[in-house]
Structure 1
Amino acid sequence: MPSPRPLGNITRGTTNPNRLRRCDRWLLATHRDVLTKGGTPHLVDLGHGASGVTTVEWADRVRAVRPDVHVTGLEIDPERVATAQAWARPGVDFALGGFEVPLPAGRRARVVRAFNVLRQYDESEVEGPWRTMIDRLDERGILVEGTCDELGRLGSWVTLDADGPRTLTLSWRLRDLDASRPPSVVAERLPKALIHRNVPGEPVHDLLALVDDAWRRSSPFAPYGARQQAVAALGDVATQVPVVGGADRWRLGELTVPWSLVAPRGGPLAQRW
């Protein structure tokens, strides 16, 4: 009997070295316990694209804190899976698969990292893949689903667990921001669950407007560098809305907020499940 077709649609397959470095860095800093506690963690790079580079980079970074980690890159395009075999090594493999996250011997994933795989879907179709991927996590597991630009300098991601969406993280390369390109430029790289919600009256629109206002007010710090301006601006934001984390993340161009702050008004994605 033939194997079922992997769940999902083929993406463009664009990938570049270090494209997911920002997310990897954030994961190691803010969810280290997920990686270091419990049995050997199995991580899944879902939709690794035309090469296996982001999968191997992720494995190398996580091994700094968890040497026994195993990472599997999944793609629904058989040609990409075949090409990625050149990147395989002990602890890193590549296989055919999609949102169903197939792993051998019934193993479950500690972390599923799914970037740039839902952009071509409708917002109404997001919940299904989220739930399917979450069902493949182990008891400590999380799903990180997001979007970034081709070089990984601008992006955002939602972190989910068995209870649903937990947080939204926005990420910028700070030196790319200026008066003509304020932090709200990240709107073009919001996850599919939010990208069409950047309109007046929606919480994510309110958040981006708040961040832009704080960035403008912090312009006196600009001569001291983008990091100083970011710490001032995002610190200002933190006095007005709940945020997760502090200045150590802001200076790297990251802002994480509870999902409840940005959840769409109405619909199944509005709150934790």
Structure 2
Amino acid sequence: MKPSPAGRIMSTPVGQITRGTTNTNRLRRVDRWIARHPSLRASADPLVVDLGYGASGVTAFELEARLRLLRPGVEVLGLEIDPGRVARANAQLAEVRAGLGTFAPDARVSFARGGFEVPAPRPVTVVRAFNVLRQYDEADVAGAWRRMTARLAPGGILVEGTCDEIGRVCTWIEVGADAAPRSLTISLRLPGLLQPSIAAERLPKALIHRNVPGERVHDLFTALDRHWDQAAVVSPFGPVHRWRTALQAMVDSGWPVQAPGRWRLGEVTLPWDAVAPR
């Protein structure tokens, strides 16, 4: 089922069942980014949705465990279209409540059936939708964004992105409550990195087909690779130093690179207008 026009009342979850690939620790990079986001930290009663968590509820448990370190009292709701996946996640939750496994028995995590309509009990602070829209057409993205952001609390955000199977290559778009994209973040494991453009194959659906000459995101990867290659001279000081050197060169050449405090994590964030499709 394709995303339906915003505002239409649906009796069944909106969207397609994902492939369900789930790996422990796969979403650690985006989780830690969300944990530091002002929207989460400013919320009086934060509710975070893990939309399309897949065949296991582990990403929802991990999300709650990471967020509670900086935002005690956060609640995480995992949503899936497939009722079998919801049943499995609730069985995992029962084990957690019984003190089995590594997650806190009092983890504020729940699971329910739902899709892009985000059937949450109250307005949502953050919707994290990872590896969900990859199977859709690019033309479906805006409608899905509108549906998900319609459930956001004032000041809330949608974090929509993609990563590889073990979470070493991640990209995500921050989308505001008005359904307008704000930024693109690329997060990479720096040890062993050959070129930053490895992230091109993991771009969110809104950009993945735009990595061609003449598009801004292609210009971004061309510049990142060039400055990364030029920074090889400082490789003896380690990959983090090389990455910082490359990003500073990006800034010096006019790229509006943001959040220098997170460069050490292998991240680079740019405003949406620097990468938006032409």
Could you tell me the TM-score, scaled by structure 2's length? 0.89
Q: Deviations over 1:41-67 (max 9, x none)?
A: 110000011111110011011111221
Look up the SS of the partner of 2:126 in the other structure: strand
Q: State the match for 1:93 in structure 2.
A: 110
What corresponds to 1:142 in structure 2?
A: 157
* 255, 266, 278: which one aligns with 1:241: 255
Where structure 1 has 5 or more consecutive residues not aligned to the other structure, the ranges are 266-273
Partner of 2:7: none
The match for 1:70 is 75
- State whether structure 2 residue 65 is matched by structure 1 residue 52: no
User: What do you get for the CA RMSD once the two structures are aligned?
Assistant: 1.1
Q: Distance in 2 between matches of 1:38 and 1:251?
A: 27
Do the aligned partners of 1:56 and 1:87 also contact (CA within 8 Å) in 2? no
Aligned length: 255
How far apart are residue 229 of structure 1 and its match? 0.5
- Mapping 1:193-204, distance limit 5 Å: 193-204=206-217
User: Which one of 164, 181, 204 corresponds to residue 165 of structure 1?
Assistant: 181
The reply to whether residue 36 of structure 1 matches residue 52 of structure 2 is no
Correspondence for 1:24: 31
**Does residue 128 in structure 1 map to residue 122 in structure 2?**
no
- The match for 1:221 among 212, 234, 237 is 234
Counterpart Cα distance in 1 of 2:116 and 2:161? 14
Preserved contact between residue 172 and residue 253 of structure 1 (Cα < 8 Å): yes
Matches within 5 A, 1:180-195: 182-195=195-208
Equivalent residue runs for 1:76-115 within 5 Å: 76-88=81-93, 89=97, 90=106, 91-104=108-121, 107-115=122-130
Residues 6 and 97 in structure 1, CA contact (< 8 A), matched pair in contact too: yes
Q: Quick one: which of 2, 17, 21 aligns to 1:14?
A: 21
Distance 1:150 1:144 in 2: 18
Contact 2:247/2:257 (<8 A) preserved: no
CA contact (8 A) 2:31 2:63 kept: yes
Displacement of 1:108 = 1.1
Number of the residue aligned with 1:263: 276
Residue type at the aligned position of 2:149: I
- Letter of the 2:200 partner, please give it: A
Q: CA deviation at 1:87?
A: 3.2
| Percent identical residues | 57
Any idea what SS the aligned residue of 1:175 has? coil
SS of the equivalent of 1:126 reads helix
User: 1:268: which partner in 2?
Assistant: none
